[in-house]
Amino acid sequence: MKTEETNTNGKSKTALKSENVTKEKTSEEKTADLLKAIETQNAGERKILFVPEVIQHPVIEKKPPTFLEIAEKLEKLASLRAKRERLFNNLQQLRSFEIEEGEENDENERGYTDLTIHDSKRQTYTIKNPNTIKAIIEIIIKKSEIAISDVEIQLVNIF
């Protein structure tokens, strides 16, 4: 928008007026403007109008582990590693069994298969049905896999 003004000496001058465009200021710019205004009002003396509240979070310092703690963890690590290896070897052995399906086998037959269970009182129980033996071995394999995965989780979480 153009406007004409006359000077005190009678000459006219043309000036361009621009529309006010407001730009959003950041908080740093607003703070700087406020401090400049205070400086000019107080002839160079700065007054702090507000103090921002500083939130301090508690600092949790983690102490380095002691030698005894490290030794205990290493012992546990060795124990878990040995347990995992033992379970893994048992699992491989169980998977290597070959059991022919069919009826109960006698010792005279070619496909002899039996499973004997001993309890703490030295009593024994023998199963000769290959289907039952195969089902029991599958259960033991699943339990062994679960035990191995539990030990591996403990190994990962030890440190």
3-state secondary structure the chain: CEEEEECCCCCEEEEECCCCCCCCCCHHHHHHHHHHHHHHHCCCCCCCCCCCCCCCCCCCCCCCCCHHHHHHHHHHHHHHHHHHHHHHHHHHHHHHCCCCCCCCCCCCCCCCCCEEEECCCCCEEEECCHHHHHHHHHHHHHHHHHHHHHHHHHHHCCC
pLDDT tens digits for range 12-53 = 444 444 444 455 666 677 777 766 666 655 554 555 555 556
pLDDT confidence of residue 20? 47
In the chain, where the domains are located: 81-156
Alpha-carbon distance 141 to 80, whole Å? Answer: 19
Q: How confident is the model at residue 143 (pLDDT cuts 50, 70, 90)?
A: very high
Mean residue pLDDT of the chain comes to: 77
Closest Cα partner for 103 from 133, 139, 136? Answer: 133
Instruction: Count Cβ atoms below 10 Å from residue 87 Cβ, excluding itself.
Output: 20
Instruction: Count Cβ atoms below 10 Å from residue 88 Cβ, excluding itself.
Output: 15
Closest Cα partner for 104 from 137, 119, 126? Answer: 126
Unique residue bearing structure tokens 């590693």: 81
pTM of the predicted model over 0.75 = no
Helix 130-156 vs helix 67-96: angle between axes, to the nearest 10 degrees?
160
